Amino acid sequence: MAQLLVEYPQSRNPWCDNPLARGADGVLRYGNLNPALTELLDVQVHAFSGREAVVEIGGPRLTYRQLWHSASRIAGGLQEHGIGYGDRVAVRMPVGARWIQAFLGALLSGAVPVLVQDGLPDDIAAQLLSDSSTDFVLGGPGCADFPDGAAFIDDGASLSELALLCYTSGAVAQEDSGPPKGVELTNENLLSAVRSMVGALDLPTDGLRNLVLLPLAHASGCVDQLLPTFAVGGTVVLAPDPTLIAEAIVSERIDTVAATPRIFAGLLPELAGLRAEGVRQVCSAGHRAELAATDPGTSEVVAAALREVFPLARQWSVWGATETSGIGLALPDGGEAPRCDLLGFPFGGTELALWGPQAAAGHGELLCRGPNVTPRYWNDPETTESRFTGSWFHTGNQVDIDEDGLVHRAD
C-alpha cells in the first residue's frame, strides 16, 4: 500500500499570536527577527543590565552586566586560542552559572557551541567531540579555568547561519536510530523558538524568575527555557542540589518551574508538604525519546501531585525533539490532570502532517515543519535525506490527529 503524506492545517493556532508568513519553501516564518541570537541578547543585556540574570542555589549570583562581561572575556580568550567564526566549541560541564558563562562565551566568540551533557560516559563524549570536529572544549576532565582575554563580541552572523549544535539522545520511538546525531540549529531556528515561547506563554518583562530543572545541554533546557528567559530580562535559577529545590522555590520567589515528567516524579518526595502559591506556571516537557520510554500513567500522577504543590499555577505540557528546537506541540491547561494519550496542538509556527497508508484517516507517523525545525543533520546527508520529505521532518512517532487538530499518542 502506498505511503501518503497528508497535511493537517490548523484553522487557528492557540499557541501563536505572532504574525507568520509562508516562505518560498512553504514553511511559515516569523518576520522582523533579530539577525542573530547574539544581537537579541546584547539588546536585552543593555536594557536590564542591573537585574539578576543567573542565580545558582549555593553558588554565584550574576547580573546581566556581570554575566555579559565574563562571557565576553571568555570569548576574547577563545579568540587568543585561535578560535573564530564557525569553529566548534564544546560545552561540557555540570549545570550551574559557569555552564551559562561558557555557553555564552562560545557564542560571543563567533564559534558554534556544541552541547555535550556532562554525565555522558567518556567514550560517548569523545565520539561527539570527534563527530562535531570540536576545536576547543570548555569543561571536561582536567579543566579548571576558562580562557580569559580582552572582552570580545562577534555579532556578524545571519539568520540562516549555524548557531548551535545539539545532539540527539540516540533513541527514537519504534526504531533504533543508532548513536547520537548532531542537529544543526540556525539563528532563525533559535530566534523562532524564543519568539514562540515568549508569545505563547506571554512571558512578562517585569522580572520573571524561572527555575530551570531541564538539562541545559539539551534543546529543551537551553533553547526553550534559558534563552526565552533572557529574552524578557528574567532570571534563570539553577539548583544543582535537588535537596535545596523546595527551599529555593520560596526564597527565590519562583514564578515558573520547568522539568520533564520523569524529573518532576523524582522530585516529588522533596516537594512533599510544600504549597507554593507564588508559582504561576509549571511546564512539563516531554521529548521524543522520553515519550517512548515513560509509563503513560506517569504524567497523570505527576500532574495531580504538582497541583497540590503549585495550586495557583497554570500547568502546561510541551512535546518536541532536538530537531524541532525542543518544541513542537503544546497542551493548554484544562484545569485538571491531562490524559496520558494527549500530546497537544502545534506550537508557534509548527505545522503538522501524517505519513503512512492511513494518513488520510488521521493515523500515521507525525511529521513537522516550521521555522524552529532544523534544516539538516550535522555532516550526515544520508540521515537528512531519510528523515525529511521536502521540508517535513519525520519524527518517528505514531500518532492520531482528531477533528480539532489535537494530536494523540497512538495505541
Position 178 scores a pLDDT of: 74
Task: State the burial class of residue 340 (Cβ atoms within 10 Å of its Cβ: 0-12, 13-18, 19+).
Answer: middle
- Averages of pLDDT over runs of 10 residues in the chain (411 residues) are 83 65 92 92 95 98 98 98 96 96 98 96 95 94 84 90 91 56 98 94 94 96 97 98 96 96 93 95 75 58 90 91 94 66 89 96 97 97 97 96 92 68
Position 320 scores a pLDDT of: 93
Residue with cell 539538516: 376
Q: Tell me the C-alpha distance between 26 and 257, whole Å.
A: 35
Q: Tell me the C-alpha distance between 277 and 49, whole Å.
A: 29
Position 286 scores a pLDDT of: 74
Position 156 scores a pLDDT of: 76
Position 301 scores a pLDDT of: 82
Q: Tell me the C-alpha distance between 210 and 229, whole Å.
A: 7
Position 179 scores a pLDDT of: 85
Position 295 scores a pLDDT of: 59
Position 173 scores a pLDDT of: 39
Going from the N-terminus, what domains does the chain have, and what CATH number goes with each? 4-409 (3.40.50.12780)
In this structure, what C-alpha cell is assigned to residue 12? 487557528
Position 332 scores a pLDDT of: 77
In this structure, what C-alpha cell is assigned to residue 341? 494519550
Q: Tell me the C-alpha distance between 391 and 29, whole Å.
A: 13
Q: Which DSSP string corresponds to 347-408?
A: -TT-EEEEEETTGGGTEEEEEEESTTS-S-BTT-HHHHHHHEETTEEEEEEEEEE-TTS-EE
Position 309 scores a pLDDT of: 96
Verdict on whether the full-model pTM lies above 0.85: yes
